Amino acid sequence: MKQIYVEVLAKHSREGEVEPLFILWEDGRRFCIDRVLDKRRRASLKVGGIGTRYTCVISGKKRYLFYEDDKWFVEGK
Amino acid sequence: MSRWILHVDMNNFYASVECMFNPALKDVPMVVGGDEQARHGIVLSKNEIAKTRYGIQTGEVLWKVRQRCPHILVVQPDMEKYLKISRMAMEIYGEYSDRVESFGLDEAWIDTTHFGKKDSVHVADALREKIRKELGVTASVGVSFNKIFAKLGSDMKKPDATTVLSEENYRNLVWPQPVSSLLFVGRATEKRLSRLGIETIGDLACYEKALLRTSLGKWGEILWSYANGLDCTPVAPKDIHDQIKSIGNSTTTPRDLRCEDDVKLVLYRLADQVAGRLRANGLCGSTICLSVRDCMLHTFERQCRVHYPTQLSGEIALAAFSLFRKNYNWQHPVRSVGIRITDFEENPNVQLDLFGCAYRRDRTIKLETTLDKIRNRFGNQILYRASMMTAPEITDIALHQEYTRTGI
C-alpha cells in the first residue's frame, strides 16, 4: 500500500478554510467530492504520512483524502 | 496541595517516526543509525522487532548489530521529520496545560495539577490516544506528584501505557527499582552509590542523608530527596521553554586527531559555527565548555569563563583550545570534540578600556556579522579560514550534532 499523490480542486475561503471539491486522477478522470464528513489531523496508519485528513464521500463511498505539506494524497492499495 | 505531573515519552521515537512515514518498516528489523563511513555508526533508535527479537539496544555499534542480525535495515536519521512530529506533540500537550516543558525531542513534562489526580490519569490516557491517532506513534506516560517520579513512571511500562506513581504506592513501586533508573544517576554516580551499598532507589531513600552529603557532596542530598519523592522543581511555563539555555556543536571527525594542530583546526571550525548561531539568536555567552572524547571512548568536559560575554569565533576557539591544552595529556588520539556556550546575555554592556581593545573587538564583530550575511546568502562553504584547507579530511565535516538546549 502506498500514498497516491493527486491533483485537487479546492475552495479556499476568506477565513482560511480549505474545502476540497474535486480529485483529478492521473488518467484525466475527475471525481466529485459529494460531502466532507470530517476534517482532523491524523497519521495514515495504512500508507504512512501525516496531515489534515478529510473524510470525503465520493460516488457514495467514504474515502480519506490527506493534505500533507501542501500536497494531497489518497491511500492506495 | 499535591501536584500532578505527567511525563510523556514517545517510544523509540526516531524509529517510530520512520515507521509512521513508511509502514513497511514495521515488519522488518530496522534501526535509525548514523553514517558508518563518517564513524557515526551507532544505533540511535530501533523498531519493536529489532528490540524484542534481536535485543538491539540504543547506542550499540552497527557492526556488532549486524553480527546478530545480518539483514538489519539501517535508516539514516532525518531530523526535519523528527522536529516536525515533536512540534506537533508539543501543540497537543498545550491543549491540556500552559505548563509544558520539553526534555529533548521526544519527552515532555506537563503540569496537570488543575485536573486533580483522577482526571490527570484520564488526561494521560487521552494524550496517548491522541498521539497514536494524530501522530501515528505510541507514547508511555508517567503520572506522579513530582517530575522525577513522573519520568520514572514513563519508563516503567512500554510501549503505549500509563503508570501512576502516587504518594500511596511509590514505596512499593519505585523503591525496588535499581538506582540507575533514577533521572540524573549515570554510570559514574551508580558506581559511587554502589560502593556505599546502595543498589536500589529504596536503599538510597533510606540511607543517612548526612553520610550521602559527605560522600557525594550537595548532589548526594539532592538525589536523596529525589528518592524520597521530595523533588519540588516546577514544570516550566510554555512560553519559557523556548528560551535558549546553551548553544553547541560537536563532531566525530572522519579520522582521529593526532596532534594539537589537528584539534585546533577542528575547534576553529566548530567555533565558527557556534558563533554564527549565537549571532543569529542575538546572544553573547560568558562560559565556554569543551568536550573531548578520545579513541578509547573516554570523555571529559571542562569549562571556563571569558572576560567579556562573547559571540566571536576567534575568542571562543581560543578559549576552547586553551582548555584543551591545559587538560589533555595525549595518552590517546582524539575521536571527537565539541564546543558549547552558556550563561547568555542579550546586548551585554562591555567595559571599555584605555588601549582600544573594545574598538578592535567592535570591528571584529562587524567583520563576523558580514561573514554571516555572505554565508546566509551563498551557503556555509562559500567562505572559510584558509587554514581549513590544510587538512580538509578533518575540517570538511558535517556538523551533524548541532544542538540548542532550551529551558530554564
Tell me the three-class secondary structure of B215-251, residue by residue.
Answer: HHCHHHHHHHHHHCCCCCCCCCCHHHCCCEEEEEEEE
CB contact under 8 A, A50 and B133: no
Q: Which of B85, B133, B137 sits opposite A42 (nearest CB)?
A: B133
pLDDT of residue B283: 86
Distance CA A57, CA A68 (A): 20
Average pLDDT for A5-25: 93
Average pLDDT for A8-20: 93
B175-233 in CATH: which number? 1.10.150.20
Nearest residue in chain B measured CA to CA from A69: B84
Distance of CA B312 to the CA centre of its chain: 24
Which residues between 262 and 321 in chain B have a beta carbon less than 8 angstroms from any beta carbon of chain A?
Answer: none
Q: Which residues are CB-neighbours of B44 under 8 A, at least 6 positions away?
A: B14, B31, B32, B33, B34, B58, B77
Distance CA B184, CA B359 (A): 44
Cβ(B367)–Cβ(B314) below 8 Å:
no
Q: For an interface test with A, which of B22, B82, B128 has the most A Cβ atoms less than 10 Å from its Cβ?
A: B22
Task: Tell me the DSSP string of B1-64.
Answer: ----EEEEEETTHHHHHHHHH-GGGGGS-EEEE--TTTT--BEEEE-HHHHHHH---TT-BHHH
Distance CA A20, CA A54 (A): 8
CA distance B24 to chain A (A): 8
Cβ(A53)–Cβ(A41) below 8 Å:
yes
Residue B107 known to be catalytic: yes
Tell me whether B353 touches chain A (CB under 8 Å).
no
Q: Which of A40, A47, A50 sits opposite B135 (nearest CB)?
A: A50
Q: Using an 8 Å CB-CB cutoff, list chain A residues near B136.
A: 43-45, 48, 50
Distance of CA B8 to the CA centre of its chain: 16
Q: Which residues of B77-114 are buried (b: 16+ CB within 10 A; e: fewer)?
A: beeeebeebbeebeebbeebbebbbbbebbbbbbbbbe
Q: Which of A1, A40, A43 sits opposite B136 (nearest CB)?
A: A43
Q: Using an 8 Å CB-CB cutoff, list chain A residues near B85.
A: 50
pLDDT of residue B378: 83
Q: Which of B20, B88, B133 sits opposite A48 (nearest CB)?
A: B20
Q: Which of B23, B85, B133 sits opposite A48 (nearest CB)?
A: B23
DSSP class of residue B70 equals: T
Tell me whether B187 touches chain A (CB under 8 Å).
no
Instruction: List phi, psi (to 5°) of B136.
Output: 70, 20
What's the domain range around A30? Answer: 3-75
Locate B90 and state its grid cell: 508539543
Q: Using an 8 Å CB-CB cutoff, list chain B residues near A47.
A: 23
CA distance B322 to chain A (A): 47
Q: Which of the residues B18, B48, B101, B107 is marked catalytic?
A: B107
Query: pTM of the prediction?
Result: 0.75
pLDDT of residue B348: 63
Distance CA B10, CA B27 (A): 20
Q: Using an 8 Å CB-CB cutoff, list chain A residues near B23.
A: 1, 45-48
Q: Using an 8 Å CB-CB cutoff, list chain B residues near A45.
A: 23, 136
Average pLDDT for A33-52: 94
- The vertex-B135 CA angle with B247 and B405, nearest 5°, equals 10
DSSP class of residue B398 equals: -
CA distance B103 to chain A (A): 23
Q: Where are the domains of chain B?
A: 1-166, 175-233, 243-406
For chain B, percent helix, then strand, then coil, each to nearest 5? 45, 25, 30
B1-166 in CATH: which number? 3.30.70.270
Burial (Cβ within 10 Å: 0-12, 13-18, ≥19) of residue B378: exposed
Nearest residue in chain A measured CA to CA from B129: A42
Tell me whether B95 touches chain A (CB under 8 Å).
no
Domain B243-406: which topology? Dna Ligase; domain 1 (3.30.1490)
Burial (Cβ within 10 Å: 0-12, 13-18, ≥19) of residue B331: exposed
Number of domains in chain A: 1
Distance CA B181, CA B204 (A): 12
**Strand order across the beta sheet in which B334-345 lies:** B299-310, B284-294, B334-345, B244-257, B403-406
B70 torsion bin: left (phi>0), alpha (psi -120 to 50), beta (else): alpha
Alpha carbons within 13 angstroms on the beta-carbon side of residue B373 total 6
Q: For an interface test with A, which of B17, B87, B92, B133 has the most A Cβ atoms less than 10 Å from its Cβ?
A: B133
pLDDT of residue B37: 73
Q: Which is it for strands A71-75 and B5-10: parallel, antiparallel or unpaired?
A: unpaired
Q: Using an 8 Å CB-CB cutoff, list chain A residues near B134.
A: 40-43, 50
Cβ neighbours around B333 below 10 Å, total: 15
Q: Using an 8 Å CB-CB cutoff, list chain B residues near A50.
A: 20-21, 85, 88, 134-136
Q: Which is it for strands B284-294 and B334-345: parallel, antiparallel or unpaired?
A: antiparallel
Distance CA A50, CA A41 (A): 8
Q: pLDDT 10s per residue in chain B (408 long)?
A: 689 999 999 999 999 999 999 999 999 999 999 877 767 789 999 999 999 999 999 989 999 999 999 999 999 999 989 999 999 999 999 999 999 998 989 999 999 999 988 899 999 999 999 999 999 999 999 999 999 999 999 999 988 999 999 999 999 999 999 999 999 898 888 999 999 999 999 999 999 999 999 888 888 999 999 999 999 999 988 765 466 788 999 888 888 999 999 999 999 999 998 998 888 888 889 999 999 999 888 888 999 998 888 989 999 999 999 999 999 999 999 999 999 999 887 666 666 666 667 778 888 888 888 988 888 888 777 888 888 888 887 776 544 344 444 443
Cβ neighbours around A36 below 10 Å, total: 14
Locate B371 and state its grid cell: 561573514
Beta bridge partners of residue A18, listed in sequence order: A12
